[in-house]
């Protein structure tokens, strides 16, 4: 009887609904930054496909073309990309946000070269209606940005702190796995006032063409994503969950409900999906939602929150 | 999927257009494209002009990347990604008219080969007509149009297509060429009550439906296209009007 009541409650509330920090999402899976999220219409499509929120392409102060092609290639187990932070600049992005926020929650991802730039960008994202901001402290392939500044805990702390004091919406820090201790970066983000950390960004990688005897990507190195990085991401989430008291958003190689469940059981309060939008299509969100709901029902979980970190116990 | 293959053939199609052939087993359907790497220069999307065990691209020299591809020689290597995208969906027994603008003929060639359909190839002048010799191997009716009247019908490919649609009963028009031409071709097909499928183009990075830089409205040209149906085109407000540059900024095209 108790089980039945809880089950009914879960259906009424939406078993997949999550809330962490001050944010409430109807579904726990978000579109990871950089995936079909540069235009208003594409973000609307992703939310309609079943994403609980969309994290925007990382936006900077000025328009930026990114690296020259090739910027992307398939490898066994995933993709390696070095897009190089292409984006139309924060001012023009207002138009895309105006379209996207009407469809559902949008998390504004921003990148800057210092705390002041991050704070300015985050404030604009808040003005545009972003439900939270995600600070890109982890892009592995853009000189002077991302991981180049986000690998130092001191920078992470000061940037998160500057942004936290200039916006009211939750501030998330997206962390790099290309470091000796991701927990240390997580603690710096928490100390700076982050309401959540997001892990992981891509793993720094190079693809060489044997026949043509040179690196394929124009930037030479890029970042590996997809199924190959999943165990690395899960380890990062597992460690961060143990080290921090703020929620962890898991990302890296999730392509089905089981991957998502693994991340949640390792300690993720929510998750993001990137590469699988390419391999499985936008419908991946609907598939994950249905599968996760069935798994939760089969295992007697009334909410995602009950699952978080269970594999750590 | 990516593969590095050897170039086994190179043909000059016109003053500024070459076909490169390579042996490549990857399954492909008419209308699909590949990302072609010109090392040290760029990587660009190119329609396959042959889709069997021997595949080909037919490239007009218009910039750094295409000129670098022209420099590739038989015996050398080329790295390709793909084949990507949705091709033409042609039901057996349908009466098809293929309408190409310039080097857009490349994307239609595999469908022309499979169906033997009537074909129009248009260009500004006679010297820019390519692949008409290949089309003639597979289809009885290959009509040429030139804007300057130097060869075939004096006028553009859409005007000629309208004439042919009035004279003959077609079930489907397939087309590839400059977007403004395709915009008017779509309009002409609707006027004549003929279904159409058109192959579009946008600046691309990943080619695989991941990055979202080639969006037209909420459709990825690389993955949801590059071939779009008449009904899809009806709903694409960007069709014939807007594109996006490398930064994702909107650029008006008409």
> What is the domain partition of chain B in residue ranges?
2-84, 96-252
Nearest to A237 by CA among A251, A255, A223: A251
The CATH class, in words, for B96-252 is alpha beta
Tell me the nearest-neighbour CA distance from B219 into chain A, angstroms: 7
CB contacts of B46 in chain A (<8 Å) are none
Nearest-CA distance A193 → chain B (Å): 31
Helix ranges (H only) for chain A are: 2-13, 40-48, 93-100, 115-127, 147-150, 153-164, 182-192, 230-243, 257-266, 276-279, 284-298, 304-307
pLDDT at B34: 98
Q: For residue A81, give the CATH number of its domain.
A: 3.20.20.70
Catalytic residues of A, by residue number, are 139
What per-residue confidence (pLDDT) applies to B254? 75
| Fold topology of B2-84 | Elongation Factor Tu (Ef-tu); domain 3 (2.40.30)
Q: Does B64 touch chain A (CB under 8 A)?
A: no
Contacts A79 to B, Cβ<8 Å:
206, 208, 210
- The string of DSSP codes covering A215-249 is ESSTTSEEEEESGGGHHHHHHHHHHHHHH-SS-EE
User: Which domain covers residue A225, as residue numbers?
Assistant: 2-312
Q: Which residues of B touch A37 (CB under 8 A)?
A: 212
CB A139 within 8 A of CB A100: no
pLDDT of residue A2: 47
Helices within chain B (DSSP H only): 64-70, 105-115, 132-138, 157-167, 179-192, 230-235
Taking the Cβ of residue B242 and every Cβ of chain A, the question of whether any pair is shorter than 8 Å is answered with: no
Q: In this predicted complex, what is the ipTM?
A: 0.94
Per-residue pLDDT of chain A (313 residues; tens, 9 = 90+): 445 554 454 454 589 999 988 899 999 999 999 999 999 999 999 999 999 999 999 999 999 999 999 999 999 999 999 999 999 999 999 999 999 999 999 999 999 999 999 999 999 999 999 999 999 999 999 999 998 899 999 999 999 999 999 999 999 999 999 999 999 999 999 999 999 999 999 999 999 999 999 999 999 999 999 999 999 999 999 999 999 999 999 999 999 999 999 999 999 999 999 999 999 999 999 999 999 999 999 999 999 999 999 999 8
Question: 């798994």: which residue's tokens?
Answer: A295
Count: domains in chain A: 1
Chain A residues with CB under 8 Å of a chain B CB are: 34-39, 41-42, 44-45, 57, 63-66, 68-74, 79, 81, 83, 86-89, 92, 209-212, 214, 216, 274-275, 277-278, 281
Chain A contact present for B1, CB below 8 A: yes
This prediction's pTM: 0.95
CB-CB: which of A37, A69, A87 is closest to B42?
A69
Q: Which one of B205, B210, B244 has the shortest CB-CB distance to A35?
A: B210
Of A39, A79, A209, the CB nearest to B212: A39
| Contacts of residue B213, Cβ cutoff 8 Å, sequence gap at least 6 | A38, A86, B202, B203, B204, B205, B206, B244, B246, B248
Say which DSSP state B212 is in.
-
Tell whether the model's pLDDT for residue B155 goes beyond 60.
yes
Over residues B124-150, mean pLDDT: 97
What mean pLDDT is predicted for residues B234-247? Answer: 97
A111-139: string of b/e by CB count within 10 Å (b at 16+)?
Answer: bbbebebbbbbbbbbbebbbbbbbbbbbb
């Amino acid at each position: 009887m108790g089980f039945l009541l809880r089950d009914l409650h879960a259906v009424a509330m939406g078993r997949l609904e999550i809330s962490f920090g001050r944010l409430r999402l109807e579904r726990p899976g978000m579109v990871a930054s950089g995936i079909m999220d540069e235009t208003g219409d594409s973000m609307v499509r992703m939310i309609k496909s079943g994403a609980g929120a969309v994290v925007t392409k990382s936006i900077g102060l000025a328009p930026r073309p990114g690296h020259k092609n090739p910027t992307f290639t398939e490898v066994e187990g995933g993709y390696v990309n070095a897009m190089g932070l292409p984006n139309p600049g924060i001012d023009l992005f207002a138009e895309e946000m105006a379209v996207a926020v009407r469809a559902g929650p949008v998390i504004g991802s921003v990148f800057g070269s210092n705390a002041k730039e991050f704070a300015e960008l985050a404030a604009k994202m808040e003005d545009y209606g972003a439900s939270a901001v995600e600070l890109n402290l982890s892009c592995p392939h853009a000189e002077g940005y991302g991981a180049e500044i986000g690998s130092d805990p001191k920078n992470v702390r000061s940037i998160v702190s500057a942004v936290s004091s200039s916006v009211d919406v939750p501030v998330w820090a997206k962390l790099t796995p290309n470091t000796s201790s991701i927990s240390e970066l997580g603690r710096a983000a928490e100390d700076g006032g982050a309401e959540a950390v997001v892990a992981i960004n891509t793993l720094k990688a190079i693809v060489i063409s044997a026949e043509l005897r040179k690196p394929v990507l124009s930037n030479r190195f890029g970042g590996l994503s997809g199924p190959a990085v999943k165990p690395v991401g899960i380890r990062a989430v597992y460690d961060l969950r143990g080290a921090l008291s703020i929620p962890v958003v898991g990302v890296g190689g999730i392509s089905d409900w089981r991957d998502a469940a693994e991340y949640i059981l390792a300690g993720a309060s929510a998750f993001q999906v990137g590469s699988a939008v390419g391999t499985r299509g936008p419908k991946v969100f609907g598939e994950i939602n249905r599968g996760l709901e069935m798994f939760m029902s089969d295992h007697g979980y009334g909410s995602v929150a009950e699952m978080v970190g269970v594999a750590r116990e | 999927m990516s593969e590095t293959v050897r170039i086994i053939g190179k043909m000059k199609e016109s003053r500024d257009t070459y076909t490169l052939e390579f042996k490549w087993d990857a399954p492909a359907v008419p209308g699909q494209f590949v990302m072609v790497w010109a090392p040290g220069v760029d990587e660009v999307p190119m329609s396959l002009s042959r889709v069997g065990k021997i595949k080909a691209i037919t490239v007009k020299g218009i910039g750094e990347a295409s000129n670098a591809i022209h420099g590739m020689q038989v015996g050398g290597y080329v790295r390709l990604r793909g084949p990507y995208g949705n091709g033409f969906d042609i039901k057996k027994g349908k009466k098809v008219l293929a309408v190409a603008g310039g080097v857009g003929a490349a994307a239609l060639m595999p469908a022309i080969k499979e169906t033997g359909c009537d074909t129009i190839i248009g260009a500004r002048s006679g010297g820019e007509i390519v692949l008409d010799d290949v089309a003639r191997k597979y289809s009885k009716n290959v009509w040429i149009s030139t804007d300057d009247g130097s060869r075939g019908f004096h006028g553009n490919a859409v005007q000629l297509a309208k004439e042919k649609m009035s004279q003959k009963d077609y079930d489907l028009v397939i087309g590839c060429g400059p977007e403004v031409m395709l915009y008017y071709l779509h309009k002409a097909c609707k006027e004549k009550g003929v279904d159409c499928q058109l192959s579009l183009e946008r600046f691309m990075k990943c080619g695989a439906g991941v990055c979202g830089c080639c969006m037209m409205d909420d459709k990825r040209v690389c993955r949801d296209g590059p071939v779009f149906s008449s009904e899809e085109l009806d709903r694409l407000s960007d069709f014939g009007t807007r594109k996006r540059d490398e930064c994702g900024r909107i650029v008006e095209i008409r």
